[in-house]
Structure 1
Amino acid sequence: MSVPTTPRIRDRWRTWRGVLGTLLLITAFAVLMVGVSTPRPGGYLDAEGTGPGGTRALAEILADQGVRVEQVRTLAEARSIATPDSLVVLARPEYLMDDDLLDRIDELPGDRLLIAPFATVLDELAPGVTEGSYEEIHSREPGCGMREAVQAGNARMGGSYYQVTGPDARCYGGTLIRFRPNGRTTTIVGSGEFLTNGRLIEDGNAALAVNLVGTRTHVTWFAPRIPLGNEPPATLEELLPEQLTWLVWTLIVAVGLIAIAQGRRLGPVVTEKLPVIVRAAETAEGRGRLYRARRARDRAGHALRAATLDRIVPRLGLAPGSAADTIVSAIAVRIGQDAGQIRSILYGPAPADDAQLVALARHLDTIERQVRDS
């Protein structure tokens, strides 16, 4: 026997269903925000990354040998843990875009390991070192007397090669050099692929990686995820307690839901065209003028190459941390062009003048269009 629903019960349900729906939406939003905000390790040369391009395996090997690897994302974090007895590893120098920032990085104590630094970074952190052309990554003999390299034997080295007057060691065809300016040991490698999870087991890569990074008991692994400039002071959100931040977000969601409910009662929102339209191209043009004013052709060329690779690598069905040789081979097969020419365009030296920069942009655009249309 069913109990008839009285008007009073229906009225109560109408009153509370909106509140219950709002609470459910707030709960779902909170769960979603927790999931999104939870940091996920990954990325090329990320010490916490477990993918092919990460270096988690190396960090664990070093930990077993008593070497503590601490990964940092900002200069402030690096300053707080770097000591004269530690090793500072610049894993992603392409994200260090500001001269003032590089000057402050130069003040960090301890020895250094620079991974594939470009000209601007070399000028600030390794003056006197010049960058040569790109060398194909393959198994190479040490060809030097450096203890770390001799013990490792053959390793998959390549990338940029470097030259410096009177180095303490120049190994693997110049793709690894070591010298001691101002009493501090600085080691430079042309590519970090031998450090990654996917390449560590090949040849003597693991031994070379451990020998280079494990020279100290503490390693500051500096791997930014985004380009860094002048670091701003802490924001208000960073200074507030985490609980207060969640309370504010909850109130914002509640107010938004109330506004939506009231807005439906008041009728549809009337749209009005804005009197000003800002073209997205103006931002790119302004940044280009800034690069030209500062004659930062190396940075501009690197930005063009990085942006092109970010767009075409997914079209090739490759992972973001794929090796340069893999990317070049895939493009050559896809568009039917010479692999050497493609490598020179994507990984060659920085443009020497404006004409070469313009030519580089045209070549990159051509490769991207051919990959997209093929």
Structure 2
Amino acid sequence: MFVGVVLLSGIVLAALQSGSRHDALDPRSASPAGTRAVAELLKERGVSTRVVTSLTEATSTTGPDTTLLVTSPNLLTSSQQQRLHQATSSSGGRTLLAAPSRTTLSTLAPGVDVASQPAPVTALAPRCSLRAATTAGHADLGGLLYSASPSLSGSDACYPVDGHASLLRLTTPADGDTVLLGAPDFLQNEHLDQQGNASLALQLLGSRPNLTWYLPSLDDPTATGERGSSDDTTGGFLSQVPPGWLWGTAQLALAALLAALWRARRLGPLVTERLPVAIRASETTEGRARLYRRANARDRAASALRSATRTRLSSLLGVPTAHAHTPAALLPALSARLPHSARDFDSLLFGPTPSHDTGLVRLADELDALEREVRAS
């Protein structure tokens, strides 16, 4: 039951979480995580925005007059990343990558390294010479942090944290460039009106008359081979579960185990419980007799009578209780105690089951009489 509750809770929360994030960075969405506001502002400034979900559509629009925004580059397979890099590296346009991981950058931006620890998204100062950043001023950046290799010339490292840039611009041939965003939060509707987020977004996305908004899809037919370009999409099912869920489930399992041990622990020796009503032994005997009679179980009744009598006789005759039900041990001792008795001890104590109730009553009476004789001798 406990495991079922945990699984059900996980499914419900995952569904709620997925429902709230399915439209993240979508220019058609007016939700807090969407980017419809910046798309409308770009439209007012004459920038044509096109939303695509396949790599073929995205690469077909590249050119010197086009900005290509890739919202989830980590979803692309290795072959897709290679095709994208070939199409954008010499197009002369601008390519923006939202939070690309180290594995993704090895193909899309060779020579760029990612810091081991991400930074919290907060208002940061530009501290660079990139015009779009200096004009916007403080903006909500952070997330993944990048550093360019010294061999890469013409790069701009903006909004730094501990010496690493959360916005890194790399120049490409034909006056193009690639912009790495450590966190795309400043593009979202809920953050656009804060700090210089709107100014930075409009300058980065509106530097060219055409904007292609690429939302990678898992259904893209170009996604051939094993999907696993991102550090976040390898490792199977467990790698997709947030660490907090794994630790929380482990703690709940430990708590359940401790509760089970606590409930199962004995606090002391067993004690007899006083019955609320005293029941006479005769009533118990009569009740059991009625049950035997109702079930027509004369064999069980006769066996119970003989067994109880043999046990009592063994203590009177000095026969060990373990041999009370053995004819070879009990009968000689009984014959020695009652040498002149006319009773057939073997038939009485070990004989067949009476064929009717009258015979069963007679057996009980004879067993009582035998026990009285032994006690009186």
TM-score interval, smaller chain: 0.5 to 0.7
SS at match of 1:300: coil
> What is the deviation of 1:371?
8.4
One-letter amino acid of the counterpart of residue 191, structure 1:
A
Q: Secondary structure at the match of 2:241?
A: helix
The CA RMSD over aligned residues, in Å, is 3.1
1:114-263 aligned at under 5 Å gives the runs: 114-132=97-115, 133-165=117-149, 166-173=153-160, 174-183=165-174, 184-226=176-218, 228=220, 230-231=222-223
Secondary structure (helix, strand or coil) at the match of 2:145 reads strand
Q: CA deviation at 1:79?
A: 3.0
Q: 2:252, 2:205 → 1: CA distance?
A: 38
3-state SS in 1 of match to 2:120: strand
Task: Tell whether the 8 Å contact from 2:168 to 2:180 is kept in structure 1 after alignment.
Answer: yes
Residue 369 to residue 60, structure 1, CA distance change in 2 (3 Å): farther
Superposition map of 1:251-290 within 5 A: none
Match of 1:308 in 2: 241
- Pairing 1:60–2:57 present: no
State the shift of 1:86 in Å: 0.6
1:109-159 Cα offsets, whole Å, 9 max, x none, are 332111100122201110001111200111111111111001101111110
Q: CA deviation at 1:182?
A: 3.2
Alignment of 1:54-133 (within 5 A): 54-96=34-76, 98-108=77-87, 109=91, 110-132=93-115, 133=117
Is the helix fraction higher in 1 or 2? 1
Look up the equivalent residue of 2:65 and give its one-letter code.
D
Moved over 4 A (4+): 294-298, 301-305, 368-374
* TM-score between both structures, scaled by the size of structure 1: 0.53
Aligned-partner residue type, residue 222 of structure 1: Y
- Please say if residues 101 and 230 of structure 2, whose CA atoms lie closer than 8 Å, have aligned partners that are also in contact: no
CA contact (8 A) 1:167 1:177 kept: no
Change (3 A) 1:295 1:73: closer
Per the alignment, do residues 296 and 47 of structure 1 end up closer, same or farther by CA in structure 2, a change over 3 Å counting? closer
Calculate percent identity across the aligned residue pairs: 31
The runs of 5 or more residues in structure 1 that have no matched partner are 1-40, 233-286, 310-344, 346-362
Matches of 1:215 and 1:302, distance apart in 2: 40
- Is the CA contact 1:91–1:114 (under 8 Å) kept in the aligned structure 2? yes
Distance 2:229 2:107 in 1: 16
- Write the letter of the residue equivalent to 2:171: R
In structure 2, C-alpha distance between the alignment counterparts of 1:371 and 1:61, rounded to whole Å: 48
Local SS of the residue matching 1:157: strand
CA distance in 1, matches of 2:217, 2:231: 22
Residue aligning to 1:247: none
Distance in 2 between the 1:42 and 1:54 partners? 9
Query: Taking structure 1 as reference, are residues 163 and 227 closer, same or farther at Cα in structure 2, changes over 3 Å only?
Result: farther
Q: TM-score, normalised by structure 2?
A: 0.53
Greater C-alpha Rg: 2
Contact 2:132/2:200 (CA < 8 Å) preserved in 1? yes
Give the Cα separation in 2 of the matches to 1:130 and 1:87.
Answer: 24
Count of paired positions: 222
- Closer, same or farther: CA 169–302 of 1 in aligned 2, 3 Å: farther
Q: Distance in 2 between matches of 1:295 and 1:45?
A: 21
Choose the corresponding residue for 1:365, options 246, 249, 264: 246
* 1:140–1:155 contact (8 Å) kept in structure 2: yes
User: Offset at 1:308?
Assistant: 2.1
Any idea what the Cα deviations from partners look like across 1:315-359, whole Å, max 9, x if unmatched? Answer: xxxxxxxxxxxxxxxxxxxxxxxxxxxxxx6xxxxxxxxxxxxxx
- Give yes or no for contact 1:101–1:229 (8 Å, CA) kept in 2: no
The 3 A distance-change label for structure 1 pair 143 and 68 is: same
